[in-house]
Amino acid sequence: LFAGPVDFVKGVVAMSGLPPADRLEVCFAGRSNVGKSSLINALTGRKALARASNTPGRTQEINFFALGESHYLVDLPGYGYANAPLAVVQKWQALLKQYLSGRQTLRRAFVLVDARHGIKTVDEEIMSLLDASAVTFQCVLTKTDKINAADRDRVLDQVRAKLAPHPAAYPELILTSSEKSEGLATLRATIATLE
Ligand code: GTP
Ligand code: MG
């Protein structure tokens, strides 16, 4: 699946702009700056496919990438703090929620969580929305290259405890570093086995 072509399809600013729901879809959600766009680039081996930057609020549209003809990878705007005007942020947050709760072909939402910080209140709000919408979500820890083993284990415990009450949570965690290519094969295999 990941050996084939990957193409940018479109950036969407309203539900009416979504591409036809005619293939399997996975999305990457998470707080601003957690590493969503970087992970999509790392997964696809394309350095600048999705635009990443150190400025929180880099991704402001819902960006669709086609993986061959069978899958969409969807890069979402971040939630939480973003370095953009409030009215703009509110608009894309509303779209994000509509998308997460109303996309028929969305098979799994990967909720990215910084391996240094664990799950925050804003993450829990998104997880509750996914519960209510019956969208299975899976936590992906990011930036593991920035943490030592002891801190990582402490965060893993926190994440497991926070996930336990969420009915839509898929229990297996995936630890990743886009920088060091950790966990990419696991994530690719997870996406490839979804039906
Ligand atoms: P928004 O679009 O603003 O919501 O951000 P995002 O979640 O798409 O984050 P993005 O991929 O733009 O990355 C944010 C910053 O984190 C960039 O400076 C990246 O280089 C850095 N970053 C992302 N992944 C990793 C990683 O695995 N390790 C390290 N060390 N840095 C990373
Ligand atoms: Mg981004």
Q: What is the ipTM of this complex?
A: 0.99
Total structural domains within the chain: 1
CATH number for the domain spanning 133: value is 3.40.50.300
Instruction: Kindly state whether residue 45 falls inside one of the protein's structural domains.
Output: yes
Ligand nearest to the CA of 57: 1
For residue 85, count other CB atoms closer than 10 A to its CB: 10
Distance CA 67, CA 1 (A): 7
Please tell me the predicted confidence (pLDDT) of residue 169: 98
Domain assignment present for 19 = yes
What number does the ligand 1 atom closest to the CA of 182 have?
27
pTM of the model as a whole: 0.97
Q: Ion ligand 2 — residues with CB under 5 Å?
A: 36-37, 58-59
Within a domain: 21: yes
- Is residue 66 in some structural domain? yes
Per-position b or e across 70-79, b if 16+ CB within 10 A of its CB: ebbbbbbbbb
Q: Provide the pLDDT for residue 86.
A: 87
Residue 1 lies in a domain: no
Return the pLDDT at 63: 96
Per the DSSP assignment, residues forming a β-bridge with 137 are 109, 169
Block means of pLDDT (10 residues each) for the chain, 195 residues, are 94 95 97 96 94 87 95 94 83 93 97 98 96 98 97 97 98 98 98 96
- Name the residue with the closest Cα to ligand 1, atom 13: 35
pLDDT of amino acid 171: 96
For ligand 1, pick from 43, 53, 96 the residue to mutate: most ligand atoms within 8 Å of CB.
Answer: 53
pLDDT, position 174 = 98
Residues spanned by the domain of 137: 6-192
Q: Is 145 in the pocket of ligand 1 (CB under 6 A)?
A: yes
Q: Following DSSP, what letter does each residue of 30-96 receive, concatenated?
A: EBTTSSHHHHHHHHHT-TTSS---SSTT---SEEEEEETTTEEEEEPPPBS--SS-HHHHHHHHHHH
